[in-house]
Amino acid sequence: MPELKVTQQHLDHDAYLYIRQSTPRQVLENTESTQRQYALRDRAMALGWPLERIHVLDCDLGKSGSQSAGRDGFQKLVSEVALGKAGLVMGLEVSRLARNSADWHRLIELCSLAGALILDEDGIYDPANFNDRLLLGLKGTMSEAELHFLKARMRGGLLNKARRGELEMRPPVGLVYRDDGVLILDPDAEVQAAMRLVFEIFDRTGSAMTGASSSARSGSTSDEVSRFARPRRGGGTVKWQHPAREARAGRFAAQRAVVSRVLTQAL
């Protein structure tokens, strides 16, 4: 029985439940999955851990498991295991803990050295046991492969749509989508004036950096071109920002990048 793997030595340490959803949208819509993850606390209590010694790490909700960077909850979990505080690590499935083999195998190794067990929806595993370690490794590999297949399917769908000429992406600065999906120059006269001014300054100076600084000194309202990069079907308004204020706010590098993008993109 899996419960026989739990000893008093494990119960003397705390249990850690790691909870994660990959995107904010999943957090909002896949509430059943989140509830199933929280329900693992009952499994730990049934195995002998008191509720006050079951720590829930759920600060990574809405974050991808493809890497450990930016996942504070996972980093804390790894730290607690490394410090020898954990007797049990819980996750609904391997993919909740990590979809990266390097992160997953590091956690397995730390659990093995610290004598901590790993629990998922299917059972309890002892990373110090060869057979359990082998199974955990296979689960991690399958989880990483699943992420690869998901990305491949999504990319394949985008490529197929692009071949049919139906893929819409963020248009270049100064262009917008017409209702029939055709890219055209933004009909807004001020937007067109801003575009012309950027090119006129560049023609005179031959430098995007000088062009950006000239725009900032000019006092014109026609130089915040980054605001009309979005598709604006059916109208919409353009929010203008004064380049001089951008420069005074210490955002000159960002203004220069916008001007450079306008000059190098295909219009």
Distance CA 125, CA 135 (A): 9
What's the CA gap between 26 and 235, in Å, rounded?
31
Least trusted range by pLDDT, from 49-53, 154-158, 190-194, 246-250 = 246-250
* Predicted confidence (pLDDT) at residue 76 exceeds the cutoff of 70: yes
In the block, residue with structure tokens 């504070």: 72
Q: Active-site residues: which are they? A: 22
Q: Among 3-17, 109-123, 203-217, whose mean pLDDT is lowest?
A: 203-217
64 or 21: whose pLDDT is higher?
21
Vertex 75, ends 71 and 78: CA angle to 5°?
145
What pLDDT, on a 0 to 100 scale, did the predictor assign at position 264? Answer: 62
Which CATH code is given to the segment(s) 2-159?
Answer: 3.40.50.1390
pLDDT tens by residue, 77-128? 999 999 999 999 999 887 788 878 888 889 999 999 999 999 998 899 999 9
Each residue's pLDDT tens digit, 46-67: 999 999 999 999 888 888 777 7
Average pLDDT over every residue of 203-218: 61
Q: Could you tell me where the DSSP H helices lie in 83-205?
A: 94-97, 101-114, 130-163, 189-205
Domain boundaries, the chain: 2-159, 175-264
Mean pLDDT of 22-43: 86
